Structure 1
Amino acid sequence: MSRPKTAPYRQFFAALATLLFVVTSAHAQTRPNVRILATGGTIAGTGASSTTTVGYTAATVGVQQLIAAVPELAKVANVKGEQVFQIASESMTNEHWLTLGKRVNALLAQPDVDGIVITHGTDTLEETAYFLDLVVKSRKPVVLVGAMRPSTALSADGPLNLYNAVLVAGNADAAGKGVLVSLNDQIHSARDVTKTNTSTPDSFKTPELGLIGYIQGGKAFFYRASTRKHTFDTEFDIANLNTLPQVDIVYGYANMNTVALDAFVAAGAKGIIHAGVGDGSLAARVKPALIAARKKGAIIVRASRVGQGILARNGEANDDELDFVAADTLSPQKARILLMLALTKTTNTAEIQRMFYTY
């Protein structure tokens, strides 16, 4: 009995393998290239048990573990991870922001990077997002993502949040919309989003102006965009900055005194955000101290602790006469960020007020 001829079969399987390689390579080339920058936070946290959702330890899981936990990422993007920091976000500093901003700009300048996802603790996620919204110099998508439950918890929200963030960062429709925040199947603009709950997965909201999109069925859907200037269209440049001016927040309350304000001014604050009650009202015993701080050179921005609404210029105080700045709709914590960057450009209050109405 003669042996079957195997050469044709070998040629067939060799050709099939070549075809599969070509198809796979072509598919990989059509997927967006998304870089994941990890900074720590709850999304990288671990708890003592699967039911631990508070009292866990943040920032213990590395970026490669985060990516490995979501193998579905490989179907929607070519992802690479980079551990920039490994901290809980309450420990985020100005120096961290400058390092992160410079790294984001460097990566986005590369032709082989289509978008960036930044994993971040939720406590200060909205602040980091707004800082990047003012200093990133690219139209390419930048998406911040976090989690409200640690990676070890039952129904941990981190893996799906990360998958959705990569979907958004790789979506051409996300380009030019500024820095975005994606959690809980929703997409928010960095300027307006805020954390609204201490522990529930639906914490991130834009209560007054509204979210800008949803993620559903593996797709990102956009419905609106911020009209304020951002990213590629701002006047701020951190390329040569190693520090930011000291700006502090003074919180308004009944029976308020000037102890904190006086201490900040004595410590060299270049700017003070007054998070006043109501429409940024100034308590009778505090107003003279704010006037004195302004005369010493500190820029005073009136904001509100309320959380919604426009801070009316010349409303609860004569800002023109006092040479103060109104925060518009920015929260005190975001007003602080804009004032720090504004002070790298000017100390003219009229110019700074223009910036608050622009960004």
Structure 2
Amino acid sequence: MNVTVLGTGGTIASTDRDTGAVPTERGSALVEDVPALADYGDVSAEQVAQVPSYEMTAETLETVGERVAELDADSETDAVVVTHGTDTMEETAYYLDATLQPDTPVLLTGAQRRPDERSSDGPANLVTAFAAARAFADGGHGGTYVAFDEAVHSARFATKYHTSALDAFSSPGVGPVATHDRNGIRILRRPASETAHIPDGTLDPTVFVVGSGAGVDDRLGEAAIEAGADGLVVNGTGLGNVTASLGEFVESTVRDGTPVVVTSRCVAGRTSPVYGGSGGGETLRAAGALFAEDLSAGKTRLKLALALSKYGENGDDGDGGENDGRDGALRGLFDG
């Protein structure tokens, strides 16, 4: 098996410095420090970025995506492992799956403890990623996954739910695709891309996330529109509800032609437009707002940006006409 490791930085590659921990180790060094990886096949390593994942930009995401696409098209590559910071790992995984839906298994992994900390988890997570890569490649399974703490999560559902615990990732509502133990990989459900495919999309459109909560008014939303937002994600409460002030803002924003997608700040469960009133989900749905079901606000922001780049931003349905074509395509993606 031929595996290419793409290094991007993150805690797995960071060491402590006077001003705080920063990525200093390259992907090739991470591989060399875990001799057991050679048992899984021929390994090569490339560096495509060297940043903490909270500094991931749209340009960096697209650079990673371009290289993964090239490797996916290369018949000599059996699997790709991306070393990455945990803060935005789930977003990079989702972006890769949405834009590429690779035939080659792509595994993202990282660490909660640096190489220079006691009991660093990076080496064990790399072994899990490689074990899953081989098992998935042998089974002819493509897609994008997060491999962490002896579990493998689908990009669609992977969520970092804990700031510091070693088992930082979960898949609320569905559980992991596979687990890893001394006997190898145990597949729990068929590995595959579980993400809506949006090929040829870019992150050029501007999409902001506005959160709701007790006492929140419409000022951040208005600021987002004034800043040139092409679309908005409103991270609501419960089933997808917002304050009355924010609800009235959502109604007027949709009416003016800017798409709004409602998510929930709850970690598990999906949105459901039930309640009336100025900020109730049913009122927002009737006004034309879209709902993200159980997709997080971060992933929804990426999905909306990709969709707008493909189907047209505010005032353009992609063919120079009205918004009807764009809005129908968005509704199909979010409500289909």
Distance 1:321 1:276 in 2: 16
Which of 18, 23, 37 matches 2:6?
37
Q: How do residues 1-359 of structure 1 correspond to structure 2 at under 5 angstroms?
A: 32-47=1-16, 57-171=21-135, 172=137, 175-217=140-182, 219-225=184-190, 229-230=194-195, 234-238=197-201, 241=202, 243-313=203-273, 316-347=281-312, 348-357=326-335
Cα distance in structure 2, aligned partners of 1:116 and 1:135: 16
Q: 1:127 to 1:262 in 2, by over 3 A?
A: same
- Runs of 4 or more, structure 1, over 6 Å off, are none
Contact (CA 8 Å) 2:128, 2:150: kept in 1 or not?
yes
1:235 Cα deviation from its structure 2 partner = 3.9
8 Å Cα contact 2:97/2:193 also seen in 1: no
Shift of 1:34: 0.4
- How far apart, in 2, do the equivalents of 1:324 and 1:268 lie? 19
Between the aligned partners of 2:274 and 2:85, the Cα distance in structure 1 is: 37
CA contact (8 A) 2:200 2:310 kept: no
Query: Secondary structure of the residue that 1:127 maps to in structure 2?
Result: helix
Distance change (3 Å), C-alpha of 1:144 and 1:175: farther
Shift of 1:137: 4.6
| Matched letter for residue 334 of structure 2 | F
Q: Secondary structure of the equivalent of 1:339?
A: helix
Mapped partners of 1:229, 1:161: distance in 2: 22
The residue type equivalent to 1:35 in the other structure is T
Q: Distance in 2 between matches of 1:226 and 1:218?
A: 19
Query: Relative to structure 1, is the Cα distance of residues 46 and 88 closer, same or farther in structure 2, using a 3 angstrom cutoff?
Result: same
RMSD value over aligned CA atoms? 2.1
In structure 2, C-alpha distance between the alignment counterparts of 1:264 and 1:226, rounded to whole Å: 38
Contact 1:104 1:116 in 2 (8 A): yes
How many correspondences in the alignment?
Answer: 317
- How far apart are the structure 2 equivalents of 1:123 and 1:45? 14
CA gap 1:229/1:182 in 2 versus in 1, 3 angstroms: closer
Distance 1:290 1:306, change over 3 A: same
TM-score, length of structure 2 as denominator length = 0.88
- Residue 226 of structure 1: how far off its partner (Å): 7.1
Q: Deviations over 1:274-298 (max 9, x none)?
A: 0011111121111222222223322
Counterpart contact for 2:10–2:23, Cα < 8 Å:
yes
After TM superposition, give the deviation of residue 48 of structure 1 in Å. 6.3
SS in 2 for 1:344: helix
Q: Which residue of 2 aligns with 1:10?
A: none
Q: Which amino acid aligns with 2:156?
A: R
Q: Aligned partners of 1:86, 1:220: CA distance in 2, in Å?
A: 30
Alpha-carbon distance in structure 2 between the residues aligned to 1:72 and 1:226: 24
Quick one: structure 1 residues 58 and 335, their matched pair in 2 at CA, closer, same or farther if it must change by over 3 Å?
A: same
What 5-or-longer segments of structure 2 have no aligned partner? 276-280, 313-325
Counterparts in 2 of 1:164 and 1:179: CA distance versus 1, 3 Å: same
More moved, 55-64 vs 262-271: 55-64
SS in 2 for 1:335: helix
Name the SS of the counterpart of 1:257 in structure 2: coil
Work out which of the two has the higher radius of gyration on C-alpha atoms and give 1 or 2: 1
Work out the CA distance in 1 between the residues paired with 2:59 and 2:129.
25
8 Å Cα contact 2:198-2:306 kept in structure 1: no
Deviations 1:301-336 (A, max 9, x none): 011101211211465233453111111110111111
Aligned counterparts of 2:228 and 2:166: Cα–Cα separation in 1: 39
Gaps of 5+ in 1: 1-31, 50-54
Following TM superposition, by how much is the alpha carbon of 1:111 offset from its aligned partner in structure 2, in angstroms? 1.2
Q: TM-score, normalised by structure 1?
A: 0.83
Deviations 1:138-189 (A, max 9, x none): 3110000010000111110001111221221222256435211101011110
